Amino acid sequence: MISIDDVKRRAQRDAKSRGIHLTPDEELLQDLIEGLKTNEERYGYPSCPCRMASGDLETDRDIICPCDYRDPDVAEYGCCYCSLYVDDEIHEGKKEARAIPERRPYDKQMAALGFAEKETEEEATGEMKESSRKLLYCRQCGYVVFRDTPPYVCPICQAKREMFEEIVTLSGHYTRKVG
Burial class (CB in 10 A: 0-12, 13-18, 19+), 149: middle
Q: Return the number of the residue (10 or 109) whose C-beta is nearest a second copy.
A: 10
104 touches a second copy by CB under 8 A: no
42 touches a second copy by CB under 8 A: no
Q: Return the number of the residue (45 or 104) whose C-beta is nearest a second copy.
A: 45
* Residue from 28, 147, 152, 161 in contact with a second copy (CB under 8 A): 147
CB of 130 to a second copy, least distance (A): 6
What is the rounded CA–CA span in Å between residue 123 and residue 118?
10
Cα 161 to chain centroid, rounded: 14
What is the rounded CA–CA span in Å between residue 36 and residue 54?
15
* Residue from 57, 98, 102, 119 in contact with a second copy (CB under 8 A): 57
128 touches a second copy by CB under 8 A: yes
107 touches a second copy by CB under 8 A: no
